[in-house]
Amino acid sequence: YRNNLQKYIEIYVQKVNPSRLPIVVGGLLDVDCSEDIIKSLMMAVRGQFSTDELVEEVEKRNRLKLLLPWLEAKIHDGSEEPATHNALAKIYIDANNNPERFLRENPYYDSKVVGKYCEKRDPHLACIAYERGQCDAELIKVCNENSLFKSLARYLVRRRDPDLWAEVLQETNQFRRQLIDQVVQTALSETQDPEDVSCTVKAFMTADLPNELIELLEKIVLENSVFSDHRNLQNL
């Protein structure tokens, strides 16, 4: 590159060893090569190389945005490769380019990879990614660490998983009270689905939480909700 022999670099990655493109791109970034040259080099290489490796080389130099045209071209060509969609998600998150919509609607990215990337940047986005992939343990952890008990309560009510309820309602969970408050005050008040209520009530009964269960029932039966006339809940 320093001797203006870019042609040899092109021949090397196009014909000799395309799998080394990620390393070549990293090396060119280190010698302050112009982004246009790197972009055209990536567009020209049709051989097999690892998208994950390319993303890693560019990401560790904080130049991820450089990949945007190449990634969008790949997706336009119909690529469903998770690594491609993961990288695009990271760029949209960093640029705040409607990331929430991308995380909710894109079916191809890896929820754990992208969720982890979001944790320190925006925990709310991490919740969206983890919920989409039903990454229960990761979602509980990020909600507890960032006091996002409202988001966790909504997730648990929608998820309707008895084992998951049993885990978060254990006495050993130091955040149990904050979570129960949000289940009672917010998550159940918002739902219109009787199955959501039924699963939550069963979970509180199984966890032997009679006082908290009364709080919950008073909220949904006595306070003019869609379940005010629900005979079974009134009986309970």
What φ, ψ does residue 192 adopt, rounded to 5°? -110, 0
State the virtual CA torsion across 13, 15, 18, 20 in degrees, nearest 10: -50
pLDDT of 122: 95
Average pLDDT over every residue of 51-79: 91
Q: What percent of the chain is modeled with pLDDT above 90?
A: 62
Contact 28, 55 (CB under 8 A): no
pLDDT at residue 3, as a whole number? 65
Chain center to CA of 107: 11
| pTM of this structure | 0.84
pLDDT range class, residue 38, cuts 50, 70, 90: confident
Q: Tell me, what's the pLDDT at 183?
A: 95
pLDDT tens, residue by residue, 112-147:
999 999 999 999 999 999 999 999 999 999 999 999
Residue 130 identity: Y
Nearest alpha-carbon partner for 191 in 219, 163, 149, 168: 219
Token pair, residue 106, equals 């894109």
| pLDDT value at 228 more than 70 | yes
Q: What is the 3-state secondary structure (H, E, C) of the chain?
A: CCCCCHHHHHHHHHHHCHHHHHHHHHHHHHCCCCHHHHHHHHHHCCCCCCHHHHHHHHHCCCCHHHHHHHHHHHHHCCCCCHHHHHHHHHHHHHHCCCHHHHHHHCCCCCHHHHHHHHHCCCHHHHHHHHHHCCCHHHHHHHHHHCCCHHHHHHHHHHHCCHHHHHHHCCCCCCCHHHHHHHHHHHHHHHCCCHHHHHHHHHHHHHCCCHHHHHHHHHHHHHCCCCCCCCHHHHHC
Cα separation, 80 vs 148, in Å, equals 32
Q: What is the pLDDT of residue 7?
A: 76
In Å, how far from its chain's centre is CA 110?
8
- Using the predicted structure, report yes or no on whether residue 188 has a pLDDT greater than 90: no
Residues 24 and 13: their CA atoms lie apart, in Å, by 8
How does pLDDT run across 52-61, given as a tens digit for each residue?
999 999 999 9
